[in-house]
Amino acid sequence: MVLRIFGLSLVVTVLSLGVAFLYGGPTALVLCILLAILEISLSFDNAVINATILEKMSEFWQKIFLTIGILIAVFGMRLIFPLAIVWVTAGLNPVQAFDLALNPPANDAEFFPDGSPSYETLLTDAHPQIAAFGGMFLAMLFLNFILAERELTWLSWLERPLAKVGKLEMAAVVIAGIGLILVAEFLADSDDRSTVLLAGLIGMVVYIAVNGLGNMFHVEEHAEGAAGGPSTLAKATGKAGFFLFLYLEVLDASFSFDGVIGAFAITSDPIIIALGLGLIGAMFVRSITIYLVRKGTLSEYVFLEHGAHWAIGALALILMVSIGVHVNEIVTGLIGVAFIGAAVVSSIRRNRKEGESEKTLTSEPTPVA
């Protein structure tokens, strides 16, 4: 089963590394490997969250996300998105932006000899807006999970008090909004404050809209299915699946921001970035997502979803802080891995304790009447 799930990713990896070697020799090959490792380490929590949402989708919409959705992730976010930023910020057409990306300054300076900014510089200059949008979207996702009251808690000493705070109506919006104002006021440059506020508000609105539509049709699915029969249920499931698909695409985009920006610390070549981040990295994230769903890992390791959401909260915080302070990509990746790893260990310990409790109960002698 493992080979069947990860087989395509392995094939894509070999082909991508081969293309990278033919494109730029050993240097390009090494850069491609580094980018793939960066993407996988940064996106493991993304795979966990994807799996939790995919479990709620019909088989049809699961296949749509794992095919069309992955293509959007590979080519849209890892190749087209950086180019689109350059089109907008530099006023270039797509052909000029792509040519600028493929022909960086010979001395790797921030500007060309004629004074025009490089592709990397233009993309880096757009980081505050990108980080504000992605950070607020992920912050809303984290807050809506962690402020909800639930029977099973992982970090109970912290999650239970936060659940009490969550009883305040629109608590997530209030906390996220205060955070956005503080970041814009104290971390963003004076020239970027308005754009950071606008981008952050758009991130919040997009989350509320897409998540709200998904929840609305998910409720209709159960309500109509009880009275309307199978055909109505199938139609409602289609609507719910469509909005969950949109939600996953925006979520993947938000997760991708740090990886795309971080990639420019390694290389500014869009071809190498597309091969390393897009093809290899995104394909492995896809395979990990499928593995989690097919193996029922989320039900076996009950704290894994909690760990993933705490990793999302950390990533959202890092994105917002990075507006004013550079955060090393290694730190970002290790924090996510640390939360996921701790959640897995906690789940194993809980399963072991439950197993011992069941053995104790079954081994107790039956009282004689």
Question: pLDDT tens-digit profile of 217-229?
Answer: 554 444 444 334 3
Which tops the pLDDT comparison, 296 or 83? 296
Domain with 132 in it = 2-105+117-353
pLDDT at 258: 64
**Residue 138 domain-assigned (yes or no):** yes
**Residue 359 domain-assigned (yes or no):** no
Residues found in the chain: 369
**Residue 362 domain-assigned (yes or no):** no
**Residue 339 domain-assigned (yes or no):** yes
Q: For residue 293, give Cα distances in angstroms to 57, 186, 277, 286, 288.
A: 11, 42, 23, 11, 9
Specify which of 62-66, 176-180, 235-239, 246-250 reaches the highest per-range mean pLDDT: 176-180
Distance CA(101)–CA(22), nearest Å, equals 19
* Helix or strand run (H / E) with residue 215: helix 193-263
Model confidence at 106: pLDDT above 60: no
**Residue 162 domain-assigned (yes or no):** yes
**Residue 361 domain-assigned (yes or no):** no
Query: pLDDT category, 232, cuts 50, 70, 90?
Result: very low
- Burial of residue 91 (number of CB atoms within 10 Å: 0-12, 13-18, 19+): exposed
**Residue 236 domain-assigned (yes or no):** yes
- Rounded to an integer, the average pLDDT of 155-166 is 92
Distance CA(307)–CA(312), nearest Å, equals 9
When divided into structural domains, the chain yields a total of 1
- Flag the least confident range among 73-82, 106-115, 244-253: 106-115
**Residue 366 domain-assigned (yes or no):** no
Token pair belonging to 76: 């849209």
